[in-house]
Chains A and B, each alone.
Chain A
Amino acid sequence: MRGLIPFYIALKDLLVLLKDKKALLTLLATPLVLILVLGSAFGSFWSEKAAPSPVLYCNDDQGQWGAFLFEEVFALPALKEKFTLEETRDLESARELVRSGKAAALIHIPAGFSAALLEGGEARISVWGDPGSSVRAQVVRAVVERYALELSSRRVVYQTLGELGLGGEEFYPRAERLLEALQLEPRIEDGLQRTAAGGMEPEAMDYYAAAMGVMYLLMTTTTMAGKFVQERQDRTLARMLQAPATPRQIILGKFMGVFLTGALQFAVIILASAVIFQVSWGSLPGVALLAAASVCGAAGIGMLVAALARTPSTADAAGLFVTLTMSALGGSMYPLFVMPPLMQAASKVTLNSWALQGFMKLMFAGGDLQSVALEAAVLAVAGLVLCLAASYCLRGEAG
């Protein structure tokens, strides 16, 4: 029974919020209205065709598979209209161009790539792109990842034939026949077409669904912070501390309450936006992971606000300030990928930026669970660190 105390506190917090009709209206209905308004208002502006972005490449490979990527894959119509390939020999300068936002990405294929692929050695393609840069950089990465995946299928076929001793002159024709029989060849084309098509320009409605979802998630967790401080003022927190519950259980319960409320709110926004506005959120496991990590990060911010604020009004004001500042800087109001590089770099300190970066990968670059692992890890670790800091500040609550 004792172990359930944090859970009971969390459930009570959720119940208190559910009974607050004004807060519910603000936290659930308002973001949906804003998604509709912003998505509709900026829809035509967003649908205008943007100029193709430059992608730098350096191909040191002498074989067919290095060239195939640039001559065939990036020649696919869906990619061609988005990217212009520019060859470079100076990797250092090319990386600098990527860093400064003048190129979407840099792809480097080292010497001996095709040979290594055939011989079973290490075959590596490098892609440089700022993790917080435009959707297009993420599309480049997704295309190269997809290409590498397809090539690894081919490599398995080559290795199997080699191990069976079916070499000689018949090796490549046999391999091609086998690939055809296994329907791997058409899959390369299909897979790349799908990835390229998945990397379409962001839809305003989709973007603002994620943007408002994250902004209102922050709003919810900081609202819960205000309610936590209210408990201190109303002496219900003191009464909890007088019960046979440890301060650690109470703080965990409060964190769980903030987390549960944030998770419920985010889930409602995701579902409602998908049903009402046909927002395509992307891979379900990826969305679940990223949403949970975002909630964790936001809950950490809420807990820290609660720990530092002395009165509910201070908590509300601080919560609003944090929410609006992070939302403005982190892309919830103005899209991240149209911000200048300096602002994009500055946005990295915000929860919104990391969360939106992940959601953009899922929505517009065909990303999956693995592709948002970095963003999810950053958000979850930040949330836990902030919660630990809040616990440290709250340690004196029990005298």
Chain B
Amino acid sequence: MTPMVKVSGLTKRYKGLTAVDGISFEIPRGAVFGLLGPNGAGKSTTVSMLSGLIRPDAGEISIEGLDLWRRPLQAKAAMGIVPQEIALYPSLTARENLKFWGRLYRLGGRELSRRVEEVLDLVGLRERANEPLEKYSGGMKRRINIAAGLLHNPRLLILDEPTVGVDPQSRRAILETIKELNRQGLTVLYTSHYMEEVEELCSLVTIMDRGRIIASGRVEELLQLVMDTEVINLEMARPLENGALLEGVPGVKGVLVEENRARVMVEESRKNLAPVIEAVTAGGISVLSVVVEKPSLEAVFLHLTGRGLRDGG
């Protein structure tokens, strides 16, 4: 079966900086494909190329077997895009916004009205559909932002960091909506730097760093890379100057310092937790709290790059 998306050798350069460096991947139909990486990894540039917004310097993209740059209108009609920004008109009501975006996707008449009501129901905002968006909360705007990408019943939904800046309740609603849409057969490309979301939603994950793909596969497969590694999160009374205090402590594979917090990758935390705390306190720093995490995609990234997902490029 033709994959929903096929990307090969995709490259984009900006004034000497290679934002995306020859990446290739495929998204099978019906999958939720996660594109994970820190800010500046090249996720948004990849999404912009996939959605036909920017032209790659090299490489090919096909959507349902259609070359995106040779048959852009047909390929774009198969996609629903949910940009990272709330790309809507604040002075217009939710219904007016959705009708405008629906018309751009060639919907009209009763079909447009029906789809507008359906997506409003889906995101749970039908009751407030006649209010201008400027009166909405951030989370509600995000939900309309997603609804606008669903109007034309796309076969592929591309969501670029759709939960940035939303409250936990709205985030949960968004994630549940995406899961439900996928159950109905929609293929989803989901980019985020929140590893928990990607772990929860995605069947396939590709991790990008500095424009390149550094790992890809099923979530379980990626977690195998760090199966023997756990992360000890330490909160301290004052910042750890650097990770030098923990060098030489048995089982420590890496340390990530963020102000007065430290993330310490260790083998067998049960055995090595005490030596880690002792080394910190021996350096004159009080430990306020300790949390041990199970292996995660964040640990995978830390394992592969020596950096955290949230500390950027």
Q: Which residues of A contact B (CB under 8 A)?
A: 1-2, 4-5, 8-9, 12, 15-16, 19-20, 234-236, 238-246, 398-399
Contacts and interface: CB of A to CB of B under 8 A. Distances in A.
Interface string B74-118: 101101010101011101100010001101111010000000000
17 contacts: A9-B104, A12-B92, A15-B92, A16-B92, A19-B132, A20-B91, A236-B88, A236-B89, A238-B87, A239-B87, A239-B101, A241-B53, A242-B52, A242-B79, A243-B101, A243-B104, A244-B72
Contact of B53 (A8, A234, A246, A399): A399
A8 B85 contact: no
Contacts of A235: 83, 85, 87
A19 B92 contact: yes
B106 A2 contact: yes
B55 interface: yes
B77 A244 contact: yes
A244 B100 CA distance: 13
A16 B88 CA distance: 11
A234 B1 CA distance: 38
B87 A4 contact: no
B229 interface: no
Contact of A398 (B53, B73, B101): B53
Contacts of A1: 103, 106, 108
Interface in B41-94: 48-49, 51-55, 72-74, 76-77, 79, 81, 83, 85, 87-89, 91-92
B92 A8 contact: no
Interface of B: 48-49, 51-55, 72-74, 76-77, 79, 81, 83, 85, 87-89, 91-92, 96, 100-101, 103-106, 108, 132, 148
A12 B85 contact: no
B76 to A, nearest CB: 4
Nearest to B109: A1
A242 B74 CA distance: 12
A240 B51 CA distance: 11
Contacts of B83: 235, 238-239, 242
Given A236-B87, A242-B51, A15 B104 contact: no
Nearest to A399: B54
Nearest to A18: B91
A276 B186 CA distance: 60
Contacts of A239: 81, 83, 87, 101, 148
Given A234-B85, A244-B72, 17 more contacts: A1-B103, A2-B73, A5-B103, A8-B103, A16-B91, A235-B85, A238-B83, A239-B83, A239-B101, A242-B51, A242-B52, A242-B53, A242-B76, A243-B101, A398-B55, A399-B49, A399-B53
A241 B92 contact: no
Contacts of A245: 73, 104
Nearest to B89: A16
A398 B54 CA distance: 6
Contacts of B53: 238, 241-242, 398-399
B72 to A, nearest CB: 8
Given A1-B108, A8-B103, A15-B92, A243 B87 contact: no
Determine which residue in A1, A4, A236 has the highest number of CB atoms from chain B within 10 A of its CB, and name it.
Answer: A236
Determine which residue in A5, A9, A16, A244 has the highest number of CB atoms from chain B within 10 A of its CB, and name it.
Answer: A244
A5 B54 contact: no
A243 to B, nearest CB: 4
Contacts of B89: 12, 16, 236
A238 B87 CA distance: 8
Contacts of A20: 91
A5 B73 CA distance: 13
Contacts of B52: 241-242, 398
A236 B92 CA distance: 13
Contacts of B132: 19
Nearest to A233: B85
A288 B162 CA distance: 49
B161 to A, nearest CB: 13
Contacts of B54: 398-399
A244 B106 contact: yes
A15 B92 CA distance: 8
B81 A242 contact: yes
A15 B96 contact: yes
Determine which residue in B48, B49, B89 has the highest number of CB atoms from chain A within 10 A of its CB, and name it.
Answer: B89
A395 to B, nearest CB: 12
Contact of A4 (B48, B74, B103): B103
A254 B229 CA distance: 56
Determine which residue in B52, B54, B87 has the highest number of CB atoms from chain A within 10 A of its CB, and name it.
Answer: B87
A135 to B, nearest CB: 43
Contacts of A8: 100, 103-104
A244 B101 CA distance: 11
Nearest to A1: B106
Determine which residue in A12, A241, A243 has the highest number of CB atoms from chain B within 10 A of its CB, and name it.
Answer: A243
A234 B90 CA distance: 10
A87 to B, nearest CB: 66
Contacts of B103: 1, 4-5, 8
Contacts of B79: 242
